[in-house]
Structure 1
Amino acid sequence: MMAPRRMETKPAIFCLKTLLLFYSFIFWVTGVILLAVGLWWKFMLGPYMLLISNSPSQAPYALAGTGAAIVLFGLFGCFATCRGRPWMLKLYAVFLSLVFVTEVIGGISGFIFRHEIKGTFLTSYNEAVMRYDGQDDRSLAVDGVQRRLHCCGVYNYTSWLSSVYFPVGGIPASCCVTFADCSGADMKNATLAARKIYRQGCYELVVSFIDSNMGIIAGVTFGIAFSQVIGMSLACCLSHFISTNQYEMV
C-alpha cells in the first residue's frame, strides 16, 4: 500500500518544490531590490532627509538590512527546498511569517502617520528656508528640491522674504525659471524676482505627491506582504508531505 501512495505523492512533491523554488527566487529578487533601494536612499537621498527630520534617518539602514536578510533567507529557502529537510522548511516559513508581520505593521504605520509626516516636513522645510545660507547640507537640499520640482519657498516664493538670507542674497537662484535671466540684484527685488521664478510652493508639490501615490505605495506594500502567505503555505505543505514519510526524498 505504501508504494502506490508514494507514487501518487511524487507529482505533488515535485509541484510543491517547483513552486517554492520559483517563489524563493522571486523573494530573493525583492531582497536585492530592497537592498539597492536602501543604499540608494542612504547615498543619494540622504541630504534630502534632513528636510524631513533634524536627526539622521534610520530608514535607509532598516531597508538595506531587511533587503540583506531577505537575500540570505531567499538563498536559504532555495537550499531548504532542494534538501527537503522539514526543519529547514519550517524555519523558512517562520522567517516568512516575520517578514509578513513586519511589512503589514510598516504599511499600516505609514498610512496612519502620513499626516504627521506631512506636518514634520512642513516644520523642518520651513526652518531650512528660514535659516538658509546656501552652503550647509540642508540649504543645498533646499536648492535641490526647488530645481528638481520647479518650485520656490514653502507655500510660495514669499517665504524667502522673511528668511535671514534674503537681505544678503535675495531669493536663491534655484528658484529661477531660467538661471541666466536671474541676476543678484533682481533676486533682492521681490517685485522683479516674482516675474522670473517659480510661483508654486514646494510643500504643496510634495504633499500632493504623497497623497496621489499613497494608495499605490500601500497597495504594493500589502501585495508583497500577503505574497509571504503563499510562501508560508508552500513551505508548510512541503514540510508536511516530507515529515509524514509519504515520499522518500532522493
Structure 2
Amino acid sequence: MAPRRMETKPVMMCVKTLLMFYSFIFWVTGVVLLSVGLWWKFMLSPYMLLISSAPSNAPYVLAGTGSAIVLFGLFGCFATCRGRPWMLKLYAAALSLIFMTELIAGISGFIFRHEIKETFLSTYSEAVTNYDGRDDRSLAVDGVQRRLHCCGVYNYTSWLSSVYFPTAGIPSSCCVTLSDCKDADLRDASRAVNKVYSQGCYELVTSFIERNMGIIAGVTFGIAFSQLIGMLLACCLSRLIIANAYEMV
C-alpha cells in the first residue's frame, strides 16, 4: 500500500493547492459583487427610477449573492485546509446552487433585454413629460442628460410636449455649454436646437445595452461555469482524501 499512498499524496496536494487558489478567486468575486450591489444601491438608486416605476431588487440580489459567495469562499478555504470530505461535499453543493442561480439570472437578463428597453422607454418618457426640476425622477433625468450628453427621449423635441416647457423651456441639463444657454434660448425651440445636445438619451442607453450585452452575458456565463471547476476540484479532493484514508487502513 505504501507505493500507492506515495502516488496519491502528490496528486492530492496539487488538487488541494488548485482548490485553495480557486476559493480565493471565488471569494474575490463575491467581494466585487457585494461592492457593485452596494454601489448600485447608494449611487445609482435615483437613476433606477427611470428604468422602473417600482423599487428595484437588483442591488439587494447582487449584494446578497456577493455576501453568500464571500462566506462560501471563506468556507471553501477552511474546508480545503481541514481536508474533511463532508465539508468539501457541502462546498461543492453550495457551488452548484450558486451556479444555477447565476445561470438563471444570466439567461433571464439576456432573454428579457427587449422588455427592459421597452420599460425604460415608457418610464423615461413619462419622467420627461412630467418633469418639474425638483422631484427625484426629474433630478435623475438631469443627471442622465449631463453625464451622457443627451437631451430628451429621442431628441430635444421630446421636451416640447412636457409640462415644464411652457413655463421654463428646455431644462438647462440639455445645454452643450451652460454659459452659452440663456433662458430665452431654452424657451424658443428654434434657437435651442443650436444650444442643446442633439442626440436623445433613449438611443444612447439602448445602444450601450446592445453593444455590451454580449460582453455582459459572456462574463456572467463565464463566472457561472467557473463554479463547475470548483465543484470538480472539491469532489476530486474529497475522493482523494477518502481513498488515501482507505489505503492507510
Say whether the fold is shared (TM-score over 0.5): yes
Deviation at 1:50, TM superposition (A): 0.3
Deviation at 1:243, TM superposition (A): 2.0
Q: Deviations over 1:94-143 (max 9, x none)?
A: 00001111111111101100000000000000000000000111000000
- State the superposition RMSD in angstroms: 1.2
- Match in the other structure for 2:94: 95
Q: Is the 8 A contact 1:52 1:125 kept in 2?
A: yes
Q: Is the 8 A contact 1:241 1:247 kept in 2?
A: no
Q: Deviations over 1:12-42 (max 9, x none)?
A: 1100100000000000000000000000000
Superposition pairs of residues 214-229 of structure 1, within 5 angstroms: 214-229=213-228
CA shift in 2, pair 1:169/1:240, >3 Å? same
- Match in the other structure for 1:142: 141
Q: Is the 8 A contact 1:128 1:139 kept in 2?
A: yes
The count of aligned residue pairs is 248
3-state SS of paired residue (1:208): helix
Distance 1:217 1:247 in 2: 46
Distance 2:82 2:97 in 1: 23
Q: Is the 8 A contact 2:9 2:244 kept in 1?
A: no
- Match in the other structure for 1:133: 132
What is the one-letter code of the residue matched to 2:108?
A: S
Q: Is the 8 A contact 2:180 2:195 kept in 1?
A: yes
Distance 1:247 1:16 in 2: 18
What is the one-letter code of the residue matched to 1:139?
A: S
Provide structure 2 residue ranges, at least 5 long, that are not aligned to the other structure.
none
Query: Which 4+ stretches in 1 moved above 4 angstroms?
Result: 246-249
3-state SS of paired residue (1:152): coil
- Match in the other structure for 1:47: 46
3-state SS of paired residue (1:244): helix
Distance 1:248 1:141 in 2: 66
Matched, 1:104 2:107: no
Q: Is the 8 A contact 1:10 1:247 kept in 2?
A: no
Distance 1:169 1:24 in 2: 57
Q: Is the 8 A contact 1:31 1:66 kept in 2?
A: yes
Deviation at 1:242, TM superposition (A): 1.3
Q: Is the 8 A contact 2:155 2:201 kept in 1?
A: yes
Distance 1:51 1:248 in 2: 64
Q: Percent identity?
A: 79
Superposition pairs of residues 1-250 of structure 1, within 5 angstroms: 2-246=1-245
Provide structure 1 residue ranges, at least 5 long, that are not aligned to the other structure.
none
Distance 1:205 1:27 in 2: 34
Taking structure 1 as the reference length, the TM-score comes to 0.97
Q: Deviations over 1:200-250 (max 9, x none)?
A: 10000000000000000000111111110100000000111112344789x
Deviation at 1:184, TM superposition (A): 1.4
Q: Is the 8 A contact 1:6 1:246 kept in 2?
A: no
Distance 2:191 2:247 in 1: 83
